[in-house]
């Protein structure tokens, strides 16, 4: 039986039918699973650390390599989907993601887990731009597409919420690797169902591949993240400086290479012309910042709840659940508010809530009530939900239809860059402060000075007096690091709040000055995005 196929010039019926909403459900599942993989690891870090015994830098790589690879390949995969078909790309990603999840589950060393997480990033990069581009194909009408985007974003938020809960439940009964196994059954179902419900979609004139651009983009991002980790583990060393130079030089080379391809009539990896549109540029910046806030919070909150306050993995997941539920509700509310309020107002309000959440984290102590962290998570969750729904819609609307895959990839790349920087910066700052502040009593192993998890694990094998002294010192050092890291995160969010808020406000005024009725119409949105 033949399946439907649409090119970017096709004009399906504007009002979606039942099949379209079923297709949306299918598109939300990969998004949910990729999001789960971003958050489920947090509650497993203490058990994973005890089982595989990574040092502090390797532990950060376990967390970071997945979003780093994902971010580096999203634009490439978005362009590949434009060429070979977005549904086909989705199917490849689904199969690969499920298979590698099994490999991650049975890793016997931290290095093997890093490698498996890197491969998960490769296949995850196929899933995200394909789902967004297919969503645009299925939902042509702007009003219905905005609702569909809100539901899609809800799937992302639901995955973030379910990650800690599902991880906690599994860790109560199984080994740490079980958190990866849970992705396999849904992926197997998708392999059967997705071809039945999703139309094929591709660009009519896709550009030629840009392998040099792919390499330069990875060389730009990877060394910069490595530099943050090196500073966190050893301060300002020559190796960290070299990493910064390599990353910055590769970034400049990437821009020059992209411009040269345009002059030669070739499509670059990233269409830099898209970033000439202020709505797209500042919306992507806001996307990166909200994900920065989410991953930054998750990196220290799960460890704080379990290793400082003594919660179990399941309890930690349940305590973080209200923040994720608020993200979902705020995302659905944002879809309605966008009909009445301008984009810049919703984005600045969302970022202000994220900022308030990190300010609340500045008051965390080793004996703080759990309500303080829960309140911070609710504030950050509300800000993420309010901002990301409207920015996703803005990015898709700002790009022409033939660039749907590239625009989707820009949106998701922004997310994953934010995820990488959230873990790297917050984790790096926390690690540096922890190392400087922890005092190891006589008899404590040196590894206890690397991470709080290592200190708690070492304390279990020490005499009572030494164990109590080590645990107290490690917890105080960790909380001090979390406070400093939250302060750094608050500064980052504040800078973006002002930058993106003013930029989107100027774009809105330009649209109004041009005689458009607002940012809700496609023509008005694109007019504002071009100026």
Q: Answer whether 54's CB lies under 8 Å from 62's CB.
A: yes
Question: What does the alpha-carbon distance between residue 449 and residue 307 come to, in Å, rounded to a whole number?
Answer: 15
**Per-residue pLDDT, 286:** 93
3-state secondary structure at position 106: coil
Q: Give me the residue spans of the domains in the chain.
A: 16-197+269-530, 211-268
DSSP state for residue 6 in the 8-state scheme: E
Condensed to tens digits (0 to 9), the pLDDT of residues 379-435 reads: 999 998 888 878 877 887 777 766 666 676 677 778 777 877 887 788 888 888 988
N- to C-terminal Cα distance for the chain? 47
Cβ-count burial 144-162 (b if 16+ within 10 Å, e if not): bbbbbbbbbbbbbbbbbbb
Average pLDDT value over all residues in the chain: 80
Average pLDDT over residues 475-482: 91
| Torsion angle (degrees, nearest 10) of CA 328, 329, 330, 333 | 130
Sign of the CA dihedral 148, 152, 155, 156? negative
The pTM of the full predicted model, rounded to 2 decimals, is 0.72
Question: What does the alpha-carbon distance between residue 301 and residue 28 come to, in Å, rounded to a whole number?
Answer: 27
Rounded to 5°, angle at Cα 167 from 161 and 173 = 145
**Per-residue pLDDT, 328:** 79
Q: Answer whether 316's CB lies under 8 Å from 168's CB.
A: yes
pLDDT for 5 beyond 60: no
Q: What Å distances lie between residue 514 and 345, 394, 523, 528, 531, CA to CA?
A: 20, 18, 11, 9, 10
Q: What Å distances lie between residue 195 and 1, 93, 138, 200, 473, CA to CA?
A: 11, 13, 14, 9, 56
Q: What Å distances lie between residue 497 and 151, 224, 353, 382, 510, CA to CA?
A: 25, 23, 10, 15, 20
Average pLDDT over residues 336-357: 91
Q: Which class is domain 16-197+269-530? A: mainly alpha
pLDDT for 495 beyond 50: yes
Q: Answer whether 313's CB lies under 8 Å from 171's CB.
A: yes
Q: What percent of the chain is modeled with pLDDT above 90?
A: 16
DSSP state for residue 264 in the 8-state scheme: T
Q: Answer whether 133's CB lies under 8 Å from 85's CB.
A: no
What does the DSSP assignment read for 191-226? HHHHHHHPPEEE-SSPPPP-HHHHHHHHHHHHHHHH
Nearest to 418 by CA among 377, 382, 387: 387
pLDDT for 340 beyond 80: yes
Q: Answer whether 171's CB lies under 8 Å from 231's CB.
A: no
Q: Which of 153-157, 452-456, 489-493 has the highest mean pLDDT?
A: 489-493
Q: Between these two residues, 286 and 37, which has the higher pLDDT value?
A: 286
- CA–chain centroid gap for 19, Å, is 29
Sign of the CA dihedral 298, 417, 31, 495? positive
Question: What does the alpha-carbon distance between residue 385 and residue 136 come to, in Å, rounded to a whole number?
Answer: 20
**Per-residue pLDDT, 252:** 93
């Amino acid at each position: 039986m033949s399946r439907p196929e649409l090119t970017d010039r096709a004009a399906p019926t504007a009002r979606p039918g039942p099949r379209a909403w079923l297709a949306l459900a299918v598109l939300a599942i990969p998004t949910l699973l990729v999001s789960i993989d971003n958050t489920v690891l947090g509650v497993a870090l203490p058990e994973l650390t005890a089982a595989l015994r990574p040092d502090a830098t390797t532990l950060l790589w376990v967390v970071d390599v997945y979003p780093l690879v994902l971010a580096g390949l999203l634009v490439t995969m978005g362009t590949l989907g434009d060429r070979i078909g977005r549904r086909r790309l989705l199917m490849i990603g689904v199969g690969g993601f499920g298979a590698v999840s099994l490999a991650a589950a049975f890793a016997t060393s931290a290095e093997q887990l890093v490698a498996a997480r890197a491969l998960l990033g490769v296949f995850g990069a196929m899933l995200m731009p394909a789902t967004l581009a297919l969503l645009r194909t299925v939902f042509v009408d702007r009003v219905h597409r905005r609702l569909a985007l809100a539901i899609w974003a809800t799937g992302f938020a639901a995955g973030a919420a379910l990650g800690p809960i599902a991880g906690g439940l599994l860790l109560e009964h199984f080994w740490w690797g079980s958190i990866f196994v849970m992705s396999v059954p849904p992926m197997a179902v998708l392999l059967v169902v997705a071809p039945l419900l999703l139309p094929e979609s591709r660009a009519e004139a896709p550009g030629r591949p840009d392998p040099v651009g792919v390499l330069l983009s990875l060389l730009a991002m990877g060394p910069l993240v490595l530099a943050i980790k090196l500073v966190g583990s050893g301060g300002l060393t020559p190796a960290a400086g070299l990493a910064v130079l390599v990353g910055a030089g590769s970034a400049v080379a990437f821009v020059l290479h992209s411009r040269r391809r345009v002059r030669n009539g070739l499509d670059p990896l990233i269409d830099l012309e898209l970033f000439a549109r202020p709505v797209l540029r500042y919306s992507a910046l806001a996307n990166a910042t909200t994900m920065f806030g989410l991953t930054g919070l998750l990196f220290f909150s799960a460890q704080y709840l379990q290793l400082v306050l003594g919660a179990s993995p399941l309890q930690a997941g349940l305590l973080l659940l209200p923040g994720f539920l608020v993200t979902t509700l705020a995302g659905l509310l944002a879809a309605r508010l966008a009909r009445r309020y301008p984009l810049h107002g919703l984005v600045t309000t969302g970022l202000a809530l994220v900022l308030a959440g990190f300010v609340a984290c500045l008051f965390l102590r080793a004996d703080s009530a759990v309500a303080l962290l829960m309140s911070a998570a609710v504030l950050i969750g509300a800000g993420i939900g309010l901002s990301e729904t409207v920015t996703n819609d803005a990015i898709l609307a700002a790009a022409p239809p033939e660039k749907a895959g590239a625009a989707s990839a820009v949106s998701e790349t922004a997310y994953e860059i934010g995820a990488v920087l959230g873990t790297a910066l917050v984790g790096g700052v926390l690690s540096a402060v922890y190392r400087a502040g922890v005092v190891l009593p006589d008899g404590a192993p040196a590894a206890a000075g690397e991470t709080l998890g290592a200190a708690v694990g070492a304390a279990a094998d020490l005499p009572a007096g030494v164990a109590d002294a080590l645990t107290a010192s490690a917890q105080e050092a960790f909380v001090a690091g979390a406070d400093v890291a939250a302060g750094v995160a608050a500064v980052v969010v504040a800078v973006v709040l002002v930058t993106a808020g003013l930029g989107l406000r100027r774009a809105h005024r330009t649209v109004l000055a041009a005689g458009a009725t607002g940012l809700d119409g496609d023509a008005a949105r694109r007019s504002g995005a071009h100026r």
